[in-house]
Chain A
Amino acid sequence: MPRSAEVVAPLPARGRARVQAALGSVRRLPLYIVVGLGAVLMVLPFYWMVVTAVSPAPDIIAFPPKWIPSRITWEHFQEAWVKAPWLTYYKNSLVVATVSVGLSVLFGLFAGYAFAVYDFPLQNVLFLVILGTLMVPVQVTSVALYVFLSRIGWVDTYPGILAPNFASAFGVYMIRQAIKAVPMDLIDAARIDGAGEARIVATVVLPLIKPTVAAVAMLLFLSSWNDFLWPVIVINSVSLRTLPVGIALFKDPYGFINYGPLMAGTVITIGPMLLAYAFSQRFMIRGIALTGLR
């Protein structure tokens, strides 16, 4: 809430304002302590992951715990790197996430446009059916979906991993909501100018709803990138494993003795994502806030 004494103070009162600002900071000390302590707890697992990954072996099991490594070593990364094909995992995650985002947004854009702009028979029924699938998560349908995919030979293939992500009800819904806010006059004007419907979607509607599309794409990318249950069900081959499947299976054979390489593996898995987040956190947080408040 507005608490801007230090901002609006007129020039002659500068000194007093400074005192007030200082007082304000003191009053906010409990706030800093609570928020700061919480933040330390939030960061702690990430910090410890990195410290373990770069500490020499004796440091890892030392007591009292060594918060700062006695020296930095890359040997755990070397060990983790040769024990699993991380680049393959990255490639698979990237392919799966990119294709699911691309197709979901493309299909969602046209379906969202149709649901927002046209009147056609069965419109509401079809829309409700699509929304209804939100209620049936892959956790519920996994068994039957697996049986179906095994019949059409899609188990252990890229299309198999993508099957539940091909089209997103969430995407269709969000995009339709955004297009509903676009003035019909703009679309009609484009029609009078002779633009085809597909072209209107691409050149008139899309630029106007870019923030929603970006937020939806980001969320779909995140959920596909981090998805675990369905890939672990449908993938058998090492060469098709995505990152979450890779790290989960990396833990089992080596984990119980070698914590160093295991933490190096988690850094390899989530490090780049955390970095990407560090650079785009404002955008990501705004995207979540935008789509979460329905």
Chain B
Amino acid sequence: MASIRHSAGALLGRAHRRHYLQAYLFISPVIVLFTLFRIWPSLQTLYFSFFKVELLKGRLTYVGLQNFIDLAQDEIFRRAIANTLIYALTIVPLSAFLAMILAVLFSEHFHLRELFKAVYFAPMVTSTVAAAVVWWWLYNPQFGLFNSVLRVLHLPEQPWLLSSRMALPSVIIFSIWKTLGYNMVIYIAALQAIPAMFYEAATIDGAGPFQRFVRITLPLLAPTTTFILIYNTIFAFQVFDQVLVLTGGGPAFSTNVVVLELYTQAFQRYRFGYASAEAMVLFLFILGVTVLQYFYSRRFEVAY
């Protein structure tokens, strides 16, 4: 508008005041939606964890720490925690390690490289549930492809999802297949950011491929590795879809994980307070990893 008549100071003052309003106007939808559907439920979860919640009767009974005491003694929940930790501690390093090797191979130029890369990434874009249904069929002990192939090769057939010893590893194999492409792509992007002159200099100094990998690639990928480990761990704590489809938590709770346990308690047994306490334990695990990340990323900032 015709603002030339105003003095500069008045103009700036007015502009700033208008910008406060503008800023709050622009962020208000996000703030309102977040408060209602994220922050409020988060606080409610904490609150509910101290109550016996009977949704149908609309009744809340304060029970103090009883839910947490019960949790500590709950064999099934302890098993779910253990399974979740085993799952996370296995799949995360395995997937990251394989992804790094693949990414290093993919930094070579070869025919059909882009096609291969796309193939490795394909599981990432598919629905976990639908992919797990396919794997459930592959794992079928009688007619499934995996045992058919083992039979052709005269190798011992496996019970896969039906045995309490092999069910969790079977779920982990599926999850590696599902997550490998994502981690690989992140590593490839990180590798491309390493200046070629580092490698040229090392080659001139007489470093072999293995030495170049250990002395240059590995340390320069460290921040990416930290990111991948942390991100994958947080994600692994939330595992649910594939477990529900592949095993439903069985056999004999051998694949029961925290989110499945929480889901069962809340939405099949309607123990909302108890499930909220389980959710708080899950949150504490995620918080722990996030805090770890904070300190680690600070250490890397110092290192570089």
A residues sitting closer than 8 Å to B (CB atoms) are 1-4, 28, 31-32, 34-36, 38-39, 41-46, 48-49, 52, 60-61, 63-65, 107-108, 110-111, 113-115, 118-121, 123, 126, 129-130, 133, 135-137, 139-148, 150, 163-164, 166-167, 169, 172, 194, 197, 222, 225-226, 228-229, 233, 243-245, 247-248, 251, 255, 259, 262-263, 265-266, 269-270, 273-274, 277-278, 281-282, 284-285, 288-289, 292-294
Contacts and interface: CB of A to CB of B under 8 A. Distances in A.
Contacts of B196: 1-2
B266 interface: yes
Nearest to B145: A48
Contacts of A197: 19, 22, 26
Contacts of A294: 227
Given A111-B30, A229-B259, A145 B37 contact: yes
Interface in B4-53: 19-20, 22-24, 26-27, 29-31, 33-34, 36-45, 47-48, 53
B286 interface: yes
Contact of A293 (B131, B190, B244, B263): B190
Contacts of A222: 125
Contacts of A292: 182, 185-186, 189, 227
Interface of B: 1, 19-20, 22-24, 26-27, 29-31, 33-34, 36-45, 47-48, 53, 55, 102, 105-110, 114, 116-131, 133-138, 140, 142-143, 145, 148-149, 151-152, 177, 180-182, 185-186, 188-190, 196, 199, 224, 227, 238, 240-241, 244-245, 259, 262-263, 266-267, 272, 275-276, 279-280, 282-283, 286-287, 290
Nearest to B48: A144
B265 to A, nearest CB: 9
Contact of A42 (B23, B107, B119): B119
Q: Which of B1, B23, B118, B188 has the most CB of A within 10 A?
A: B23
Consensus secondary structure, chain B interface: helix
Nearest to B224: A293
Consensus secondary structure, chain A interface: helix
B102 A38 contact: yes
Nearest to B182: A288
A140 to B, nearest CB: 5
B125 A284 contact: yes
Contact of B108 (A28, A121, A277): A28
Nearest to B129: A244
A230 B250 CA distance: 22
19 contacts: A1-B108, A4-B109, A39-B116, A41-B177, A44-B145, A45-B135, A48-B137, A65-B145, A65-B148, A110-B27, A120-B19, A133-B39, A143-B262, A164-B37, A166-B37, A172-B30, A247-B127, A247-B130, A284-B121
